[in-house]
Amino acid sequence: MMSRRKMSKKILVLSIAMLLVGALAVTGFAQQVISVQYGEPWKDLFESAIVEFEKTTGAKVDRMLIPYGVDMWEKIALDFAAGVASDVLMVDGFTIADCVEAGYIHKLDGYVKEWPDWGQYYPAFKAMGSYQGHVYGITLETSANAILWYWKPNFEKAGIPMPWKPKDWDEVLETAERIKERLPDVEYPLYIPMGTKWGEGATACGIYSEILGADTSEGDRNRLWNYTTGKWIGSSPAIERALNFYREVLSVRKLCPTEAMYAPDVWGEWRRLMREGKIGIGQGGAWEWAEFWPEAIRPPEEQRADFLGWAPLPGSGDPGTPPIQTISGGWTVAMKKEAKNPDLAWEFLRILNSKERLAKWLALAGKLSMRKDSAEVPEYGENKFLMEIGKLLPYTTYRDAVAGYTTVSHYLQQAMEKVAVDGLSAAEATEWYKNKLIEEFGKDQVEIIR
Amino acid sequence: MRENTKLTVSMLSPTLIFLFFLLVAVGWAIYASFTDIMLLGPTAKSPQFIGLRNYERLFKDPFFFNSLIKSVIYTSSVVAGQCVLGLFLAVLMSQKGVKIKSAVAVAVTLCWIIPDIVKVYTWGAFAHYEGTLNSILRLVGVSSVRWFSEKPLEVCIIGNIWSGTAFSMILFLSALETIPPQIYEAADIDGSSSWQKFRYITLPLAAPVILVDLLLITIWTFGYFTFVFGLTGGGPGHATEIYPVFIYNEAFRLYKIGYGAAVSFIMTAIVGMICIGYLILLRRLEKV
């Protein structure tokens, strides 16, 4: 019989051997693992890509899902700062520049050069994921903002002819006044997103749309950043006119009570108000065609058109202003700068962004495609709404892909609150905004357009 | 002796590990408060040492003073409300023959134990323009109020009192149970009224516990972020931008981690001073 001592020795040797084998296996395996982080709204798209990726490459994906209700961008930014971000992750288009400056994301120039599908992307969306001429993110989805949604039953009751296509801001305001006068139960005759609780939504889905159509579109007069001079625009007729439009709607004509701008869930509240017919006209993005209703109660597409109409937001109507304008945003998918296996991570990006997968998912989610060839996929090409709203894409532009944009956007949200809540005139709020930019970036980095 | 040392070390080790992580985090935050570090952008990668500039900027920032004023109003109202209501409920609970006390205790405690974010949505729905509060008001002939735009800070204060009173109630209840019933019996024989018993027996004997309650609620309320942020995000404008929301906006909305760290240290100092004040009062009370 084996002595207890010998037995212990054998167990010890065996344990060490097993640990070594395990460690070797893990080390070998680690080279074939990538981590991927994505938000719950994109779950179907990512998970189908993960299945294909694992099947074709034999590698494993360590997945990290960010659930609904979590501020996704904040989580990703903190993960970056803490050095625990995933290899592949989503980066909101407007933060690409800031992420590049922070050294967080990987350049994709070499990969897209070899990728035939890259030629199918519209230039505006190639630019959305780029910074200083280099590609850092592949735009995953987009939409057209500056859409005026209107609730058809309210228009019918107020006797407003449909389809409604306003020519200028005055016509928008007059229509909203008419709804207010004839339908006192409609709490929000004209809903426009505003303020810091809306966050970037108040800029991207809100005031930037007005700014783009406020003045003559010569040069960058209708923007926040002047690409020619390389400076932030602290004050301009476009910014002041846009703020004045907000003042008219929220403070002077009282067409939009500010309460909904500070609800616990501003996005959820705006969608609820719309689908319950408590809004006459509401400014938002095209993707909301599907998202006004939670999935469980979402009516089929053909029925939605019985309730919901849309029109592009017109320009201000002042001489020389554009007749319509729109601005697109969207999330990009990018690679962390320190990704352990960039080639494998790129392989995942390539599979994720394939023509068929993307087009089918976009059609289902009611979002616009950045690729010219999506229309060839029947699910997308036969979607009447997407094909119609896609006609706005030639007019679209994107947010200023410049480091510091997020800060500028925050001050603009505060300037909106100055006219809507604090009772300042548009000129005073513009002055306040200009001073904040000077304080932030210095006088030589901010210009005034007259 | 050796056994004792081993035991001491093993018992101390969790504390030492905790202290280590705490000090590393605090040390990093102190360093950050003297730099221009941001969450994004070029200074995320290579922050510069800027000395006291963050602190100088702070004392010139009108939003800092706004948040301080808002926090003082918010904290003092919540602390007073929770303490008075908690004491009232504790006295009610300690009375014999009050039939609804179990129901009240369950209702008050439930408001306290539900998760913060559920509190936010529950209170948000209650005070919504189309919510229960306005329905009740309409029943008694008062027209609906847009609470979140017209009385935002008041909504946050009352909501916090509603959700947090249970703590004071439980604390006071346990304090009341330590008061010997013979004192009340003697007072009854002397013909004291209920108010006199409360004023001259309950209040002085429960005073140290009241002070501890005030101390704890003040610390929690001054730094309590979730409720107000979830309810209003600090708006409309800056109407409910209390101190922790201001820190959040600076550090995570404007990505100024360095500035946010400086603001946080000032908050720590303020709360520290309040605590010292309470502790001095408590010492004096104990000597009496």
Q: Is the pLDDT of residue A286 over 50?
A: yes
Q: Hey, do A33-139+330-398 and A147-327+402-448 end up sharing a CATH topology, with the first three levels equal?
A: yes
Residue with the bigger pLDDT between B100 and B43: it is: B43
Do residues B209 and B171 make contact, with C-beta atoms less than 8 angstroms apart?
Answer: yes
Is residue A278 over pLDDT 50?
A: yes
DSSP 8-state symbol, A439 = H
> B41: phi > 0 → left, psi -120 to 50 → alpha, else beta; which?
left
CA-based angle A414:A418:A423, to the nearest 5? 165
The domain spans of chain A are 33-139+330-398, 147-327+402-448
Q: Is A422 on the interface with B (CB under 8 A)?
A: yes
CA distance A92 to chain B (A): 13
- Residues in A closer than 8 angstroms to B238, CB to CB, are 417
Q: Are A104 and A337 in contact (CB under 8 A)?
A: yes
pLDDT score of B130: 87
| Per-residue pLDDT at B95 exceeds 90 | no
High-pLDDT (> 90) share of chain B, %: 58
Q: Which of A16-30, B75-89, B97-111, B172-186 has the lowest mean pLDDT?
A: A16-30
Q: Which residues of chain B neighbour A420 with C-beta distances below 8 Å?
A: 236
Q: List the single best residue of A92, A259, A266, A267 to mutate versus B (max B Cβ within 10 A).
A: A259
Q: What is the overall mean pLDDT for chain B?
A: 90
Binned at pLDDT 50, 70 and 90, residue A353 comes out as very high
**Whole-number pLDDT of residue A6:** 64
Q: What is the ipTM of this complex?
A: 0.76
d(CA A37, CA A67): 11
Strand segments, DSSP code E, in A313-415 are 326-328, 331-335, 396-398
Crossing angle, helix B257-287 and helix B2-33, to 10 degrees?
A: 130
What is the number of alpha carbons within 13 Å of residue A240 lying toward its C-beta?
15
Share of chain A above pLDDT 90, in %: 64
pLDDT at position A29 over 60 = no
Question: Domain range holding B247?
Answer: 54-287
Answer yes or no: is pLDDT of B177 > 60: yes
- Label residue A1 by pLDDT band (50, 70, 90): very low
Domain contains B4? no
Residue B36 inside a domain? The answer is no
Q: Could you tell me the end-to-end alpha-carbon distance of chain A, in angstroms, rounded to an integer?
A: 100
pLDDT of amino acid A11: 59
What angle is formed at CA A276 by the lines to CA A275 and CA A278, rounded to 5 degrees? 105
Q: With 80 as the cut, is the pLDDT of residue A7 above it?
A: no
Instruction: Give the distance from CA A299 to its chain's centroid.
Output: 24
Q: Which of A74, A103, A104 sits opposite B252 (nearest CB)?
A: A74
Contact A199 B149 (CB under 8 A): no
Q: What is the pLDDT of residue B288?
A: 66
Alpha carbon of B217: minimum distance to chain A alpha carbons (Å): 24
pLDDT at A399: 82
User: For residue range B31-63, what is the model confidence (pLDDT) as tens digits?
Assistant: 999 999 998 888 888 899 999 999 999 998 999
Q: Which CATH superfamily is domain A33-139+330-398 in?
A: Periplasmic binding protein-like II (3.40.190.10)
Contact residues on chain A for B249, CB-CB shorter than 8 A: 196, 410
Residue A196 to chain B, least CA–CA distance (Å)? 8
pLDDT number for residue A26:
45
Position A152, amino acid: K
Residue the block writes with tokens 């908050």: B267
- Please list, in sequence order, all residues whose beta carbon lies within 8 angstroms of the beta carbon of residue A161, skipping any fewer than 6 positions away: none
- A161 or B284, higher pLDDT: A161
- For B196, other C-beta atoms within 10 Å of its C-beta total 12
**Residue among B39, B42, B129 minimizing CB distance to A259:** B129
DSSP state string for A241-263: HHHHHHHIIIIIS--S-GGGGGS
CA pair distance A279, A272, nearest whole angstrom:
10
pTM of the model: 0.82
Give chain B's domain count. Answer: 1
Nearest chain A residue to B229 by CA distance is A264
| CB distance B201 to B187 below 8 Å | yes
Pairing of strands A188-191, A279-284: parallel
Q: Contact B40/A195, CB-based, under 8 Å?
A: no
Give A431's DSSP letter.
H
**Inter-chain CB proximity B39 and A78 less than 8 Å:** yes
Q: How confident is the model at residue A181 (pLDDT cuts 50, 70, 90)?
A: very high
**B65 domain residue, yes or no:** yes
Contact A134, A163 (CB under 8 A): no
> CB-based contact (8 Å) between A331 and chain B?
no
| Residue where the block lists tokens 């959305």 | A128
B135-168 pLDDT, tens digit each: 999 999 998 898 988 899 999 999 999 999 999 9
- If one counts every other C-beta atom within 10 angstroms of the C-beta of residue A160, the result is 17
Is A422 close to B237, i.e. CB distance below 8 A?
Answer: yes
Comparing alpha-carbon positions, the chain B residue that sits nearest to A75 is B252
Asked whether residue A296 carries a pLDDT value surpassing 60, the answer given is yes
Q: How confident is the model at residue B1 (pLDDT cuts 50, 70, 90)?
A: low
Strands A231-235 and A225-226: antiparallel
Closest residue, chain A, to B246 (C-alpha): A196
Question: C-alpha A368: how far from its chain's center?
Answer: 12
Please indicate, yes or no, if residue B21 is contained in any of the structural domains: no
Of the ranges A31-35, A146-150, A393-397, B204-208, which one carries the lowest mean pLDDT score? A393-397
Residue A423, chain B, CB below 8 Å: the answer is: no
Task: Share the mean pLDDT of chain A.
Answer: 89
By the 8 A CB rule, do A195 and A262 touch?
A: yes
CB contact (8 A) between residue A406 and residue B255: yes
From the CA of B24, how many Å to the nearest CA of chain A? 14
* Domain A147-327+402-448 = CATH 3.90.110.10: no
Q: Following DSSP, what letter does each residue of chain B receive, concatenated?
A: -HHHHHHHHHHHHHHHHHHHHHHHHHHHHHHHHTB---SSSHHHHS--B-TTHHHHHHTT-HHHHHHHHHHHHHHHHHHHHHHHHHHHHHHHHHSTT-TTHHHHHHHHHHHHHS-HHHHHHHHHHHSSTTSHHHHHHHHTTPPP--HHHHSHHHHHHHHHHHHHHHHHHHHHHHHHHTS-HHHHHHHHHTT--HHHHIIIIIHHHHHHHHHHHHHHHHHHHHT--HHHHHHHTT-STTTT--HHHHHHIIIIIS--HHHHHHHHHHHHHHHHHHHHHHHHHHHHHHH-
B109 domain residue, yes or no: yes
Q: What is the pLDDT of residue A16?
A: 60
A225-255 pLDDT tens trace: 999 999 999 999 999 999 999 999 999 999 9
Chain A residues 79-108 within an 8 A CB cutoff of chain B: 80-81, 95, 98-99, 101-104
**Smallest Cβ distance to A407: which of B44, B237, B254?**
B254
Q: What is the DSSP string of A3-53?
A: -HHHHHHHHHHHHHHHHHHHHHHHHHHHTTEEEEEEEGGGHHHHHHHHHHH
3-state secondary structure of A131: strand
Return the pLDDT at A349: 96
In this complex, do A258 and B149 lie within 8 Å of one another by their Cβ atoms?
yes
Both tokens of residue B67? 């948040």
SS3 A339: coil
**How confident is residue A25, by pLDDT bands cut at 50, 70 and 90?**
very low
Residue A363, CA distances (Å) to A117, A146, A289, A351, A369 in order = 19, 20, 11, 18, 9
How confident is the model over B223-258, as pLDDT tens digits? Answer: 999 999 999 989 888 899 999 999 999 998 888 999
Interface of B with A in 21-40 (CB under 8 A): 38-40
Indicate the residue of B45, B147, B238 with minimum beta-carbon distance to A102. B45
pLDDT at A30: 45
Of A368, A410, A321, A335, which Cα lies nearest the Cα of A142? A368
Q: In this predicted model, what pLDDT tens digit does every residue of A94-120 receive, in sequence order?
A: 889 999 999 999 999 999 999 999 999
Single-letter residue type at A383: N
Q: What is the pLDDT of residues A34-84, one digit of tens each?
A: 999 999 889 999 999 999 999 999 999 999 999 877 788 889 999 998 889
Distance from CA of B86 to the nearest CA of A (A): 27
Residue B111: give its domain's CATH number. 1.10.3720.10
Using the Cβ of A445 and the Cβ atoms of chain B, whether some distance falls under 8 Å is answered with: no
If you write DSSP's letter for every residue of A281-298 in order, what string do you get? Answer: EEEE-TTHHHHTS-GGGP
Long-range CB contacts (within 8 A, 24+) of B135-140: none
Q: Which of B35, B40, B226 to mutate to test the interface with A (most CBs of A within 10 A)?
A: B40
